[in-house]
């Protein structure tokens, strides 16, 4: 990678970092605690809405969670249209289907129920409703919505994506295998419901991978070069909460204290990375989602230690600070030792929760296109400790590639 391109990326990132202070950021208002979901319908009615689009997915419908929320909304006298066709890594078709239902039923607001995929679908749906003149691909990137969306109430059922607090809606195109984000301040939900009873019955592997997704958000926000004092505080809080509570929630889904703490961790990590941004872990993870439909949290969990290793000494100081925050090493250890201990702790946490250390299905013939997609996503925007060349990306893909048997 040329020194000129490297300098261009840093200038771009520094300019964007300066502009962030001028943006009209908002943090969602929260309904928190067990039973807080039941308070949502009255709040929506109090805000003057009568017709609601509830966006979720088929799994939550089968589990009865969609039906339960619809009953609560109906019981408050609200008309509720339901779209539960969201796929993992929501597609352009999902968004257009949801927009059609919203318009057909003259809805006034959107409730997003689920993990990151339904929330991304809901936010992208809101963007399309606000901008009927633009397709989803035309809003790819930064600040291309530019108009107020219908009010979005986010109800996360997992503790990982942090989408209830972010400017991003991630969209997939199954034809081109592209996965990209629509980023706009108007996409931050105005309200979020953190009810720890919702993730109580999650399968352990969903708890583990979504929890590692939250850890990735916090770590990438912290080690990047666009931090503020507030984002650093949120990121450190999230890392501490995850190290103290994720394994407990994984081993005992009914541990309400662990569930509450993981919801807080996910939310804080979301607030941190929506302002400080993510990095090369996400750029690579998005390609695995686009090509192989790999769940996003699983992809981040696998990729994270490899990318942090590849950053090398550029990330040692901040990784050492995170190691200190979770008391991994003694105070007299070197910065490098602390940083490597933190990466080792991530690998250990993955192993203890049966998360593999390689990604299944990565094909040699797909790697060149994935490198192009990851490189274009990361540069010049992501304020990473080390700007990756295409060769750096290639090395990561080969390191994470599981043997094909």
Q: What ranges do the domains of the chain cover?
A: 24-194, 202-400
- Residue 79 bridge partners (DSSP): 51
Average pLDDT of every residue of the chain:
96
Q: How far apart are CA 203 and CA 213, in angstroms?
A: 16
Radius of gyration of the chain (CA): 20
Tell whether the model's pLDDT for residue 367 goes beyond 80.
Answer: yes
Contact 168, 7 (CB under 8 A): no
pLDDT band at 371 (very low <50, low <70, confident <90, very high): very high
Q: How far apart are CA 45 and CA 37, in angstroms?
A: 14
Total length of the chain: 405
pLDDT of 405? 67
- Model confidence over 304-323: pLDDT tens digits? 999 999 999 999 999 999 99
DSSP character for 227?
-
pLDDT of 374? 97
Of 27-41, 172-186, 195-209, least confident by mean pLDDT is: 172-186
User: Domain 202-400 has what CATH class?
Assistant: mainly alpha
Tokens 């540069």 belong to residue: 379
- Model confidence over 139-148: pLDDT tens digits? 999 899 999 9
Tell whether the model's pLDDT for residue 18 goes beyond 90.
Answer: no
CATH 3.40.50.1970 fits 24-194, yes or no: yes
pLDDT band at 137 (very low <50, low <70, confident <90, very high): very high
Q: How far apart are CA 286 and CA 120, in angstroms?
A: 14
pLDDT of 404? 76
- Model confidence over 228-270: pLDDT tens digits? 999 999 999 999 999 999 999 999 999 999 999 999 999 999 9
Tell whether the model's pLDDT for residue 84 goes beyond 80.
Answer: yes
pLDDT of 242? 98
Q: pLDDT above 90 covers what percent of the chain?
A: 91
pLDDT of 174? 87
pLDDT band at 24 (very low <50, low <70, confident <90, very high): confident
Tell whether the model's pLDDT for residue 21 goes beyond 80.
Answer: no
Residue 331: C-alpha distances to residues 222, 223, 327 (Å): 20, 20, 9
Q: Would strands 29-32 and 151-156 be described as parallel, antiparallel, or unpaired?
A: unpaired
pLDDT of 1? 60
Q: How far apart are CA 311 and CA 313, in angstroms?
A: 7
Q: How far apart are CA 180 and CA 172, in angstroms?
A: 7
| Nearest residue to 391 via CA among 365, 371, 373 | 371
Residue 239: C-alpha distances to residues 37, 157, 162, 261, 334 (Å): 26, 20, 14, 11, 21
Q: How far apart are CA 120 and CA 374, in angstroms?
A: 20
Q: How far apart are CA 201 and CA 197, in angstroms?
A: 8
DSSP character for 91?
B
Contact 182, 139 (CB under 8 A): yes
Q: How far apart are CA 122 and CA 104, in angstroms?
A: 16
Tell whether the model's pLDDT for residue 20 goes beyond 80.
Answer: no
- Residue 77 bridge partners (DSSP): none
pLDDT of 319? 98
Helix-strand-coil split of the chain, %, nearest 5: 55, 15, 30
- Residue 51 bridge partners (DSSP): 79
Of 170-174, 247-251, 258-262, 353-357, least confident by mean pLDDT is: 170-174
């Amino acid at each position: 990678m040329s020194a000129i391109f490297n300098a261009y990326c840093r200038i771009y990132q520094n300019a964007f970092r300066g502009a962030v202070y001028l943006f009209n950021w908002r943090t969602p208002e929260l309904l928190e605690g067990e039973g807080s979901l039941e308070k949502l319908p009255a709040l929506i009615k109090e805000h003057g809405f009568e017709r609601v689009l509830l966006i979720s997915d088929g799994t939550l419908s089968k589990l009865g969670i969609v039906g339960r929320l619809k009953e609560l909304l109906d019981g408050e006298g609200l008309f509720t249209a339901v779209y539960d066709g969201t796929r993992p890594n929501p597609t352009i078709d999902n968004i257009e289907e949801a927009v059609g239902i919203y318009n057909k039923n003259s809805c006034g607001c959107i409730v997003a129920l689920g993990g990151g995929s339904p929330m991304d679908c809901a936010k992208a749906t809101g963007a399309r409703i606000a901008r009927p003149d633009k397709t989803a691909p035309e809003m790819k990137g930064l600040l291309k919505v530019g108009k107020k969306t219908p009010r979005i109430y986010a109800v996360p059922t997992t503790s990982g994506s942090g989408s209830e607090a972010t400017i991003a809606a991630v969209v997939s195109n199954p034809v081109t295998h592209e996965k990209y984000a629509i980023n706009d301040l108007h996409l931050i939900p105005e309200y979020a419901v953190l009810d720890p009873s919702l993730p109580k019955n999650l399968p352990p592997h969903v708890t583990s991978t979504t929890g590692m997704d939250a850890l990735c958000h916090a770590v990438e926000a912290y080690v990047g070069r666009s931090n503020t004092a507030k984002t650093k505080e949120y990121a450190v809080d999230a890392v501490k909460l995850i190290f103290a509570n994720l394994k407990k929630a994984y081993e005992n889904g009914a541990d309400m204290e662990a569930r509450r703490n993981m919801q807080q961790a996910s939310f804080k990590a979301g607030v941190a990375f929506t302002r400080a941004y993510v990095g090369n872990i996400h750029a690579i993870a998005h390609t695995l989602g686009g090509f192989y439909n790999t769940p996003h949290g699983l992809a981040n969990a696998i990729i994270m230690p490899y990318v942090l290793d590849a950053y090398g000494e550029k990330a040692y100081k901040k990784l050492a600070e995170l190691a200190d925050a979770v008391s991994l090493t003694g105070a007299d250890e070197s910065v490098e030792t602390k940083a490597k201990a933190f990466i080792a702790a991530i690998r250990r946490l993955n192993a203890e929760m049966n998360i593999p250390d390689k990604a299944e299905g990565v094909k040699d013939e797909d790697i060149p296109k994935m490198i192009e997609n990851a490189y274009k996503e990361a540069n010049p925007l992501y304020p990473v400790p080390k700007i990756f060349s295409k060769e750096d990306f290639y090395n990561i893909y080969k390191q994470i590639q599981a043997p094909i048997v």
